[in-house]
C-alpha cells in the first residue's frame, strides 16, 4: 500500500514538473517572439475555439431535431377533451405548437445535412496552448464561455482581442517586408538601410607634382 502511495505521489510530482516546464515554454515563446508570436497564438487559439464552438452547435442542432420531434409527438398524444377538463393552461394551442415543432425539427435536420461536420482546427503544441492560457489570463485573448441569464452557456468575446491580433499581424507583416527589402538591397550583411547602396563617386586621377 505504501509503495502504491509513493508511486502515486511520484507520478503527481512528475506531472507538476511537466506542467511547470510547459508553462515556462509557453512564456518563452511569447517573450522571445514578441507581438508577432502573440498574434499567431491568438489566431490559432481563435481558430481552435471556433471549431469547438462549431461542434457544440452541431451537437445542439442534433439534439434540437430529436427533442422538437418528441415534443410534437407528445403534445399530439394528449386527449384534447381530457386536458381541457383538467384545466391545463395552453392546451388549446397544443396542435399549432406541435406543427411548429415539427417544422423546426425538419429545418434543423436539413441544415445539419448541409453542414455535415465541423471544420478542422490548426494543430497547437503544448507550449502554444500554454502561451494561449497566458494571453487569456493577461486579457489579451477574450473569447470565453459564459453563462447567460437564462442559464445557457455561450461563447462570447470582447472585440479587443480581435483588433489587437489583427494589428499585431499587420505590424509583423510590415517588419518582415522591411527586412526582406533590406536583405535585397543591403546584401544581407546586417545592413538595415532600406535604400539601395549609393554608387561610389569616381576618384580623380592623381595630378603629377610640379617640379
- Each residue of 115-172: pLDDT tens digit? 988 899 999 999 999 999 999 999 999 888 666 666 666 677 755 445 555 555 555 5
Closest-CA residue to 24 (of 163, 143, 133)? 133
pLDDT score, position 156: 73
In this structure, the answer to whether residues 47 and 60 fall within a common structural domain is yes
Residue 25 has pLDDT above 80, yes or no: yes
CA dist., res. 52 & res. 58, Å (int): 10
CA dist., res. 185 & res. 178, Å (int): 11
pLDDT score, position 21: 55
In this structure, the answer to whether residues 90 and 30 fall within a common structural domain is yes
Residue 39 has pLDDT above 50, yes or no: yes
Q: Could you give the number of structural domains in the chain? A: 2
pLDDT score, position 169: 55
**74 vs 166, which has greater pLDDT?**
74
CA dist., res. 193 & res. 179, Å (int): 9
Question: pTM to 2 decimals?
Answer: 0.59
pLDDT score, position 198: 44
In this structure, the answer to whether residues 50 and 78 fall within a common structural domain is yes
Band of residue 101 on the pLDDT scale cut at 50, 70, 90: very high
The helix (run of H) or strand (run of E) holding residue 118 is none
Q: Name the domain boundary from 126, 141, 156.
A: 141
CA dist., res. 83 & res. 91, Å (int): 7
From the number of C-beta atoms within 10 Å of its C-beta (0-12, 13-18, 19+), residue 17 rates as: exposed
In this structure, the answer to whether residues 20 and 105 fall within a common structural domain is yes
Amino acid at each position: 500500500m505504501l509503495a502504491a502511495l509513493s508511486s502515486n505521489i511520484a507520478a503527481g510530482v512528475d506531472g507538476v514538473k511537466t506542467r511547470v516546464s510547459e508553462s515556462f515554454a509557453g512564456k518563452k515563446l511569447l517573450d522571445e517572439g514578441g507581438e508577432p508570436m502573440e498574434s499567431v497564438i491568438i489566431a490559432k487559439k481563435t481558430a481552435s475555439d471556433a471549431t469547438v464552438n462549431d461542434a457544440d452547435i452541431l451537437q445542439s442542432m442534433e439534439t434540437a431535431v430529436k427533442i422538437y420531434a418528441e415534443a410534437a409527438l407528445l403534445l399530439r398524444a394528449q386527449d384534447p377533451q381530457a386536458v381541457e377538463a383538467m384545466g391545463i393552461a395552453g392546451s388549446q394551442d397544443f396542435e399549432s405548437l406541435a406543427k411548429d415543432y415539427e417544422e423546426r425539427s425538419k429545418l434543423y435536420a436539413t441544415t445539419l445535412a448541409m453542414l455535415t461536420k465541423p471544420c478542422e482546427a490548426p494543430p497547437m503544441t503544448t507550449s502554444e496552448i500554454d502561451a494561449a492560457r497566458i494571453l487569456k489570463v493577461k486579457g489579451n485573448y477574450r473569447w470565453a464561455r459564459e453563462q447567460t441569464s437564462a442559464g445557457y452557456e455561450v461563447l462570447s468575446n470582447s472585440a479587443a482581442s480581435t483588433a489587437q491580433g489583427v494589428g499585431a499581424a499587420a505590424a509583423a507583416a510590415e517588419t518582415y517586408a522591411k527586412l526582406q527589402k533590406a536583405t535585397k538591397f543591403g546584401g544581407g550583411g546586417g545592413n538595415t538601410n532600406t535604400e539601395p547602396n549609393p554608387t561610389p563617386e569616381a576618384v580623380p586621377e592623381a595630378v603629377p607634382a610640379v617640379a
